[in-house]
Amino acid sequence: AIYRKKSEEVYTTIFFIKKKILDAATSHLI
C-alpha cells in the first residue's frame, strides 16, 4: 500500500512536469 501511494505521487509529479513543459512549449511557439 505504501509503495503504491509513492508511485502515484511520482506519476502525478511527472504528469504536472510534462504539462508545464507542454504549456511552456506551446506559449513559446505562439
pLDDT digits (tens, 9 = 90+) for 3-30: 778 889 999 999 999 999 999 999 877 6
| Confidence at residue 30, expressed as pLDDT on a 0 to 100 scale | 63
CA Rg value for the chain:
13
Does this model's pTM top 0.85? My answer is: no
3-class secondary structure per residue, 1-30: CHHHHHHHHHHHHHHHHHHHHHHHHHHHHC
Q: What is the pLDDT of residue 14?
A: 97
